[in-house]
Structure 1
Amino acid sequence: MASRTARLLLRMTKLKTPLLSLFLAAVALSQNGCSSLFFFPDKTTYITPDRLNLTYENIYLDTADGETLHGWWLPAENDALGTVYFLHGNAQNISSHLLNVAWLPAEGYNVFTIDYRGYGNSTGAPDIEGTLHDSETGLRWLTNQQNTENTPIFLLGQSLGGALGLTLASEWVQRSEMPELKGVILDGTFSGFRGIAREKLNSFWLTWPIQAPLSWTIPGDYEGVDMIANISPVPVMIIHSVRDGIIPFHHGQALYEAAAEPKEFLQTDTPHAATFIIPAYRDAVLEFLKAE
């Protein structure tokens, strides 16, 4: 997230004066909305589940505002112990994030994952409000499927997907929606949209002077630290790496401190969104799933 933003703004430094560069950077971010810092979709299909010997089904969902979302349904290899609804991070699309959940069907869990608007084969262009709507659209489809009846449903979100999932889970619980979520797992998630935007703008010299006004273009209604306690009594597992170079470790700590019981913290030691390359971390997540 930080590196692509930096490249965008660095191109502006070739202009004749620093003041002009700064002005144009501010205009570009203001017109697009600071929320554009969060979304880097593409349309490339990097891998499909069959290449990993996984059975799958293409799912297409229509949103209330006229977009069509593409997703994959991956059934458990044996009798399903539950279903994991996976919300991926901010770059590329579901095909580049597939390996994060490809191990779950063999462990007895169905997986459902979607691409937000503008990602992969989904239509439209992403923004915060739209992707929040998309995440709820996917969950509503999932909870209405016969093959998920009488088994628990879990939400797993990584990075941006964790921020979307946190908001979705909070609202789902507060509205007493059915079926109930049995657990929420947040991996490498930032503590708030506005907070991480200001932090990233602060880290780059060209946007440092305008970090405050630009970050205020992001709605303050979706700060994870303000919402995560509302997920209780649904159990929450927060995963964060001490080596996360994209979303610093203190974001995971802040979310854990703000969460209400029951909660669990898994400190890891991998690059950002690389948690599940380590078998021990997979086992910890499986223990969380089986305990609920």
Structure 2
Amino acid sequence: MWENGTAMTVSDTGPLFRRLRVLPFLAVLALALSASGCRSPFFYPTRDHVPVPGLENTSRQDVRFASEDGVPLHGWLLSPRDRVSRGTILFLHGNAENISTHVQPVLWLVREGYTIFAFDYRGYGWSGGDAPDIPGVHRDARAALSHILSLDGVSPDRLVVFGQSLGAAVAVHTVATASPSQRPRALILDSPFAGYRRIVRDKLSSLIVTWPIAWPASRFFDDEYSPERWIGKIAPVPVIVIHGTADRVVPYSHGKMLYDLASDPKGIWTVEGGGHATALRNPEVRGQFLAFLASVLPPEGDRRPSR
């Protein structure tokens, strides 16, 4: 279980499950100095799906819906077989590839009785659109939230939004700007970065060749949607931040900053030795995750009053 302001520390010394793809520093430098290309370091989409082990054990529906600006989007609604769902999780994935490479690590939640709605941003997988951009993926996430809440049997008080890496950053703005009638029961952020400019500065500052231009180059990136600007507007929706201390893609300091900026109710789960978006491989974190879900999505007969 969890309490307001809790901090949990666990250990994870295993190898990274998947690394965020980071553009080589010379390419980042060139793009950062070109306004027309400054969005590209955040997005590495692929179109082709790959086989997903375990997907056949879920009840899968292909979902088609439109983004706020009309771009056609595709997703999967993955439900438990032969049992009533315990609640729905809107899953926002990271910046590389597509849902077929991101959904497998969360399929265990379907086995535990939860429904997962995972979708691809524009330019990813079977979604339409060309090159994704920062405003566009935020429009897509808001549309996904609206779509899942339009389905029979899905209501805000039975919904949790869960984002990993880039998806965690997008999730913050999505929940912060949602109407009161669309606010979910909770928000969970795994390996989030605090700001678009901030993560660019960190990446450029980590290399002696690009360190001198880290601050001016970061100004080419739009910071309007940065989580650090919006995390304080999430309350009273509970926020959980999960971050590994050995994350070499998004430093732990980003997750800690978002936790500090968030209002109660909130919690932070620090994974000692954990890498980027690997926490859910840890049995202790999985147990804490399930306990938290049970606390905010109790059985239908034991539901809390709606906010």
TM-score (norm 1): 0.87
Aligned-residue identity in percent: 37
Q: Equivalent residues in 2 for 1:163-242 (5 A)?
A: 163-172=169-178, 175-176=179-180, 178-242=181-245
Aligned to 1:22: none
Aligned to 2:50: 46
Aligned to 1:114: 119
Q: Is the 8 A contact 1:83 1:151 kept in 2?
A: no
Alignment of 1:153 with 2:159, yes or no, is yes
Q: Equivalent residue of 2:108, what SS?
A: coil
* Structure 1 segments of 4+ aligned residues over 4 angstroms from their partners: 49-52
Query: How many Å separate the matches in 2 of 1:2 and 1:114?
Result: 18
Query: How many Å separate the matches in 1 of 2:156 and 2:73?
Result: 26
AA paired with 2:160? F
Q: Equivalent residue of 1:121, what SS?
A: coil
- Judged with a 3 Å threshold, the aligned counterparts in structure 2 of structure 1 residues 148 and 214 are, in CA distance, closer, same or farther, namely same
Higher relative CO (CA 8 A, sep ≥ 6), structure 1 or 2? 2
AA paired with 2:23? T
- Judged with a 3 Å threshold, the aligned counterparts in structure 2 of structure 1 residues 171 and 150 are, in CA distance, closer, same or farther, namely closer
RMSD, matched Cα: 2.1
AA paired with 2:27? L
Query: How many Å separate the matches in 2 of 1:203 and 1:279?
Result: 32
- Judged with a 3 Å threshold, the aligned counterparts in structure 2 of structure 1 residues 29 and 59 are, in CA distance, closer, same or farther, namely farther
Query: How many Å separate the matches in 2 of 1:291 and 1:259?
Result: 20
Query: How many Å separate the matches in 2 of 1:192 and 1:59?
Result: 31
Q: Which one is further off, 196-205 or 26-35?
A: 26-35
Query: How many Å separate the matches in 2 of 1:27 and 1:249?
Result: 25
Q: Is the 8 A contact 2:44 2:95 kept in 1?
A: yes
Residues 181-224 of structure 1 show CA distances to partners (whole Å, capped at 9, x for unaligned) of: 10000000001111111111222344333322221122222222
Q: Equivalent residues in 2 for 1:1-292 (5 A)?
A: 4-6=22-24, 9=27, 25-26=29-30, 29-48=33-52, 51-77=55-81, 78-124=83-129, 125-149=131-155, 152-172=158-178, 175-176=179-180, 178-268=181-271, 269-292=273-296
- Judged with a 3 Å threshold, the aligned counterparts in structure 2 of structure 1 residues 145 and 164 are, in CA distance, closer, same or farther, namely same
Q: Which runs of 5+ in 2 are unaligned?
A: 1-18, 297-307
Q: Equivalent residue of 1:70, what SS?
A: strand
Q: Equivalent residue of 2:74, what SS?
A: strand
- Judged with a 3 Å threshold, the aligned counterparts in structure 2 of structure 1 residues 5 and 27 are, in CA distance, closer, same or farther, namely closer
Query: How many Å separate the matches in 1 of 2:73 and 2:65?
Result: 5
Q: Is the 8 A contact 1:93 1:120 kept in 2?
A: yes
AA paired with 1:95? S
- Judged with a 3 Å threshold, the aligned counterparts in structure 2 of structure 1 residues 251 and 99 are, in CA distance, closer, same or farther, namely same
Aligned to 1:15: none
Query: How many Å separate the matches in 2 of 1:31 and 1:151?
Result: 41
What is the Cα deviation at residue 149 of structure 1? Answer: 4.0
AA paired with 1:270? G
Query: How many Å separate the matches in 2 of 1:259 and 1:101?
Result: 25
What is the Cα deviation at residue 3 of structure 1? Answer: 6.0
Query: How many Å separate the matches in 1 of 2:123 and 2:49?
Result: 14
Q: Is the 8 A contact 1:184 1:235 kept in 2?
A: yes
Query: How many Å separate the matches in 1 of 2:100 and 2:204?
Result: 29
TM-score (norm 2): 0.83
What is the Cα deviation at residue 227 of structure 1? Answer: 1.3
Q: Equivalent residue of 1:290, what SS?
A: helix
Query: How many Å separate the matches in 2 of 1:229 and 1:150?
Result: 20
What is the Cα deviation at residue 290 of structure 1? Answer: 1.2
